Amino acid sequence: MVVLGAFFFASLLLLVIILQVRAYYILKRQNAIITRQSIEIQKQNEALARQNQQLHDLNIEKQQIIGVVSHDLKGPFNRIFALMQLMSMTSQNLTLEQKEYMGKIHQIAVDGLNMVRNLLDSRKIEERILDITL
């Protein structure tokens, strides 16, 4: 009976050791998987950070381009306004029909300038507060 008890105890001890070794290798494999996943996540985070920086740089460049385009598109309207001011200084020499045309030209220039301002105001567009009416 003692031999049988010793054999049972030895078998049980061997089973515990086998299970511990198996658990060790499972944990080791899982740790390797977790380590690979962690490295992959770190690489993805670095790639996202680079892309975010590129987007930031592109946004700055876009804003600079919009500033130049805005200035270039507003220029002709500002010249029209300057000419209108010069013409208004001598408006006493204009006929009624010519004065009406000047008023129409002025309104068209105002509408055009407002359209350019609305189209190029990217801050408002991005914040979705620009009310574009057609």
pLDDT, one tens digit per residue, over 28-63 is 999 999 999 999 999 999 999 999 999 999 988 988
Rounded to the nearest integer, the mean pLDDT of the chain is 87
Using one digit for the tens of pLDDT, what is the confidence trace for 6-35? Answer: 888 899 999 999 999 999 999 999 999 999
Q: pLDDT band at residue 120, thresholds of 50, 70 and 90?
A: confident
Is 0.75 surpassed by the pTM of this model? no
Identify the sign of the CA torsion 44, 49, 54, 55.
positive
Inform me whether the pLDDT recorded for 4 exceeds 80.
Answer: no
Which class for 62: exposed (0-12), middle (13-18), buried (19 or more C-beta within 10 A)?
exposed
Domain ranges within the chain, ordered by starting residue: 2-127
The confidence score (pLDDT) of residue 68 equals: 85
